[in-house]
Amino acid sequence: MTELDTFPPRHQKKQKRRYRLTRRGWLAVVILLFLVVVLAEQCIKDKPQEAIYPELIGNVAVITDLIPSEYAGRTGIKRTIKWIVIHETGNTAASATAENHNSFLHSEKQMNNTTSWHYTVDDHEIYHHLPDDEVGYHASDQLTPDGGNACGIGIEICVNDGGDYQQAVDNAARLTAYLLDSYDLGLKAVKQHGDFTNKNCPERLREGEHWEEFLKQVKQYL
């Protein structure tokens, strides 16, 4: 038996070690990529929760009128719910009610528009436009991991002239509390649109102490 039969030549040994290191490196890259993909789409990868369709919040009727499934606003992307994302419509026209926002979402010009949200609340009605377990594009953060779109239910509060804004906010607080209860979320799940992007929304609720007051209202309805 020669030395060569027993021991691999030194250069072969070296090559083998280098090969092993490379393989380990690749394995690390693959594991890292896998984790990035899984974590990036956490809400979307999770088992979707069963969506609820409330009919009455306090004394306010909830009208479910889902955006047609062939519209671009209906992403069809199912996910779990982590946030309730509060918006204000920013439209002070007297006609900018929940009903008219619902009509807008159903209009032909919205057919190819991906912007969509789940609820619009005014002083006397709530419209439900999108199943809660379906992603809507309302938080200006695409499908950012743990983001407002990927994981949030979007609620628009009307600020229409002639409407009772405080009542609309109260209705939104009741709806938010109801959704927190239904999806087993805490008060910390209540977010502003502005938490996910550099946008001053909900504009009025972000002034002074109004946001803290809103959270207190939500807490009182839990």
Q: How far is the CB of 117 from Zn ion (least distance, A)?
A: 8
Shortest Å, Cβ 57 to Zn ion: 20
Q: Does 118 bind Zn ion (CB under 5 A)?
A: no
When asked if residue 87 is in the footprint of Zn ion (CB under 5 A), the reply is: yes
Q: Applying CB under 5 A, which part among 7-15, 16-24, 37-45, 87-95 lies near Zn ion?
A: 87-95
- Closest approach, Cβ 84 to Zn ion, in A, equals 13
Quote the least distance from Cβ 73 to Zn ion, whole Å: 15
The stretch near Zn ion (CB under 5 A) out of 12-20, 59-67, 82-90, 119-127 is: 82-90
Q: Does 193 bind Zn ion (CB under 5 A)?
A: yes
Does residue 151 belong to the site contacting Zn ion (CB under 5 A)? no
The correct pick among 201, 205, 214, 218 for binding Zn ion (CB under 5 A) is 201
Q: Do 138 and 201 meet the contact criterion of CB atoms below 8 Å apart?
A: no
Region near Zn ion per CB under 5 A, out of 126-134, 141-149, 187-195, 210-218: 187-195
- Asked whether position 101 contacts Zn ion by CB under 5 A, the answer is no
Binding mask 42-81 for Zn ion (x = CB under 5 A): ----------------------------------------
Choose the binding region for Zn ion from 8-16, 160-168, 186-194, 204-212 (rule: CB under 5 A): 186-194
With 0-12 / 13-18 / 19 or more C-beta atoms within 10 angstroms meaning exposed / middle / buried, residue 20 is exposed
| Three state DSSP letters for the chain | CCHHHHCCCHHHHHHHHHHHHHHHHHHHHHHHHHHHHHHHCHHHHCCCCCCCCCCEECCEEEEECCCCCCCCCCCCCECCCCEEEEEECCCCCCCCCHHHHHHHHHCHHHCCCCECCCEEECCCEEEECCCCCECCECCCCCCCCCCHHHHEEEEEECCCCCCCHHHHHHHHHHHHHHHHHHCCCCHHHEEEHHHCCCCCCCCCCCCCCHHHHHHHHHHHHC
Contacts with Zn ion by CB under 5 A lie at 87, 193, 201
